[in-house]
Amino acid sequence: MVGYRLRLLTGLGLFCSPLALADPIDFETQIFPIFENKCFNCHSDEKQKGDLRLDSPAWIQRGSENGDVLIPGDPDESTVYYLTTFDPDDPDYMPSKGKGLTVAEQELLRKWIEEGASYGDDAMMGMGGMMDGGMGGAAPLPRSSKYTEDVPLPPASYEVSDAVANLIAGMEKDGIRFDTVNHDAEYLEITYTYSEGGSDVFDYSRLESVAGSVVKLNFGRSPVTDADLEGVSLLANVTYVDLKRTKVTDAGVAYLEGLEKLEYLNLVGTEVTDESLEALEGLKGLKKVYVWGTFVTRQAAESFEKKVPGVEVVR
Amino acid sequence: MKEILGKISDIDRRDFLAYSAKAFLGVGLMPAAARNMAFAGDSPLRRPTAKNVIYLYMAGGMSHLDTFDLKQGTQYQGATQAIKTNVPGTRVSGYLPRLAKQMDKMAVVNSMFSNQGAHEEGRYFMHSSYTKRGTIKHPGIGSWLVKFDGNRNPNLPGVVHIGSPNPGGGNGFLEQRYAPLVIGNPEAGLQNSKRRSNISEGQFQDVVSLTNAFDAEFHSRYKHKKVEAYSEMYDDALKLMRSRDLAAFEIDKEPERLREAYGENPFGQGCLLARRLVEHDVRFVEVTLGGWDTHTNNFERVEENANVLDQAMSMLLRDLEKRGMLEETMVVLATEFGRTPEINENDGRDHSPTAFTCVLAGGGAAGGQVYGKTDESGKNVAEDRIDVPDFNATIAYALGLPTERTIFSPTGRPFRVADKGRPVLDLLA
């Protein structure tokens, strides 16, 4: 307790020893207890008013339903601080129930944010470990039992870039659909299934501005023809091509030879033959080729699996 | 690390807007600079990979003790025998010989827990993660999915329920367009979806435009959500009637041999229809198999039911795999509760919600594992309990739904996709 007081006072700058001044405010021993005593009734594992939890650095950084609650270095922009300084009669005053923060606690919080709102090295290590699914290195100090190891999940991202948004406006009228892959805005899936076809629907140069982001091409059940696949290798990062139930033949599959990163190819229900597999022998990254309902023979499938290690031909 | 975490919250803050943008405009419009390049590549966290769900619902309460959580050598087992699976060290019921050979695809959860011991309430809880109450209806996962991530097929409904007049999960307080389409008999397909043969397209068009003309004034005067929902329903019906995707409902287009392989019963054919629908980008298809309420004659009845389930689900998994669809399609086996270890005087088992079994396969599920343990009798969970909301949060997470986001009902009450459930990441690969 004596140590706590001392640190509190140094935090306020009332002690002038340069050694004491250099000692920054410690999150776990000085800030966390304030949150625990004054905020956890509404902002921890039990309740999350306003979608806010304050019971670990990861949750504090995640913010509330209104966004960030803490801007390191800027207490006056940090709701986690300034709402506690309002008049207790103000409707926005925090905590809305129970005892408010003392002036000393407010000051400590302000100072901690001014100093950059550091959580200390251990906390950072702990968080890194938690993100891997375990604790990376044990914390030297016994932690409050309220300190949570739950971590916020990565948000599903349905957003797309400007470049894509502009493209979509132009191409959706042709029935071409865009989507992010696994909710990761970096990767795009383009679906031609609901397009009626037409002169420039399969003109891949239209995709030039996002070509590097396109990883999945969905042609399944679309009117795509062999000729429409010419030029597809412009989309060099494509790993997934679905051609199931299309009119594509060996001649069309041959154009895929240029997709060096291809991992997944679905040819189910097309009229391709063993020739298609031969054309793909150079694609060493292939993992799955689906040829059920085609003319591909078992011998060709087996010999292909020998030539391209790691691939499985499903038939 | 701090840098990265800072950016997480950065994205998090914006995606509320992105949801709205996608929901209302059909597209997100976030500037490229706002996105975080480092995060996507470096993150050790698992990304959701499922796109669609086929949800097999065992109505009545599937006996976990006679399907996936056997208690061999105890007084509780009765006539059921365990058999080996294709994953060493795991066993399932002898009533499931074909699924035993697909164990490598399945994550079997033997530690499910519910506090709802009546059918209707249990079913409601399982589908919505909320307990049933009089003042509000909660949406099922399918409706949440379409609400957040949209229909992939512009011509077909996003959610379809097969084989039950009383589906457990509806659109709840979400708009009518997220409601499931209900199909009673899979073999009959979609009823009344064709123009009557004695009416030409021209005549039909006349009727439709006349209706629209009559309605126009009303619609402009009463711009109410429910009025709009009504006309939306007509628009969707017309789109569907004219769509080539209507063929998705016609299982008679499938080869006879395949239809037999799924089982010549409504559930088997329902699973086949589900596969066809998912192939046509329907997002969430639920198929119900009833008859699991085995208060009497448990062992014979479970054997019969399990045979239907075994044939259909194992064929479904194989069929999806062959077609290259298993990676993106999560197959869920669920029920409202399990059954008592004690065998009653009618050779039956009664309701027991404190421990039961559900299964995940495909769509990023980590197959080949049995998760959680029950006690010696199978009455209670002993290890790694998964509450119903946690299970639903796992499915939702696999689909990329925001399980931590609070959504407000039209009356301003806060809800989440799976209530307070947290995804169990061990079940996902």
B27/A165 touch (CB, cutoff 8 Å), yes or no:
yes
Give A16 to chain B, closest Cα distance, Å.
31
pLDDT at position A225 is: 93
**Residue B45 sits at the chain A interface (C-beta within 8 Å):** yes
**Residue B35 sits at the chain A interface (C-beta within 8 Å):** yes
Chain B CB contacts of A57 below 8 Å: 5
Say whether pLDDT at B6 is over 50: no
Chain A CB contacts of B11 below 8 Å: 155, 157
A154/B401 touch (CB, cutoff 8 Å), yes or no:
no
- Label residue A208 by pLDDT band (50, 70, 90): confident
Give the chain A residue whose CA is nearest to the CA of B149: A158
Question: Quick check: A95 and A38 in contact, CB under 8 A?
Answer: yes
Give B359 to chain A, closest Cα distance, Å.
22
pLDDT at position B194 is: 72
A268/B323 touch (CB, cutoff 8 Å), yes or no:
yes
CB atoms within 10 A of CB A168: 19
- Label residue B361 by pLDDT band (50, 70, 90): very high
Mean pLDDT across chain B, nearest whole number?
85
**Interface probe, candidates B3, B4, B7, B12, chain A, greatest A C-beta count within 10 A:** B12
pLDDT tens digit sequence for B382-411: 999 999 999 999 999 999 888 888 888 888
Chain B CB contacts of A177 below 8 Å: 152
pLDDT at position B152 is: 87
What's the CA gap between A278 and A246, in Å, rounded? Answer: 20
pLDDT tens digit sequence for B226-276: 667 666 766 776 676 667 788 888 898 899 999 999 999 999 999 999 999
Chain A CB contacts of B40 below 8 Å: 184-187
CA angle A205, A209, A215 (to 5 degrees): 80
The residues, any chain, with a CB within 8 Å of residue A250's CB and separated by 6 or more, are A272, A273, A275, A276, A279
Q: What is the dihedral of CA A86, A87, A92, A98, to 10 degrees?
A: 100
Give A152 to chain B, closest Cα distance, Å.
8
Give A155 to chain B, closest Cα distance, Å.
6
Average pLDDT, integer, range A91-120:
92
DSSP character string of B162-177: ES-SS-S-B-TTS-GG
Which of A141-150, B169-178, B420-429 has the least mean pLDDT? A141-150
pLDDT at position A20 is: 46
Any idea what DSSP says for residue A29? I
Would you say the C-alpha torsion B319, B320, B322, B326 has a positive or negative sign?
negative
Inter-chain Cβ pairs, chain A and chain B, closer than 8 A: 145
pLDDT at position A314 is: 95
Give the chain A residue whose CA is nearest to the CA of B34: A161
pLDDT at position B411 is: 85
Confidence (pTM): 0.77
The beta-carbon neighbor of B404 closest among A124, A153, A187 is A153
Residues 351-390, chain B, touching A (beta carbon < 8 A) = none
User: What is the number of alpha carbons within 13 Å of residue B187 lying toward its C-beta?
Assistant: 11
Would you say the C-alpha torsion B6, B7, B12, B16 has a positive or negative sign?
positive
Give the chain B residue whose CA is nearest to the CA of A125: B1
Question: Quick check: A71 and A80 in contact, CB under 8 A?
Answer: no
The beta-carbon neighbor of B27 closest among A160, A191, A221 is A160
Say whether pLDDT at B181 is over 60: yes
- Label residue A196 by pLDDT band (50, 70, 90): confident
Say whether pLDDT at B195 is over 80: no
Would you say the C-alpha torsion B204, B206, B208, B211 has a positive or negative sign?
negative
What's the CA gap between A32 and A25, in Å, rounded? Answer: 11
**Interface probe, candidates B4, B7, B8, B37, chain A, greatest A C-beta count within 10 A:** B8
pLDDT tens digit sequence for B75-116: 999 999 999 999 999 999 999 999 999 999 999 999 999 999
User: What is the number of alpha carbons within 13 Å of residue A264 lying toward its C-beta?
Assistant: 17
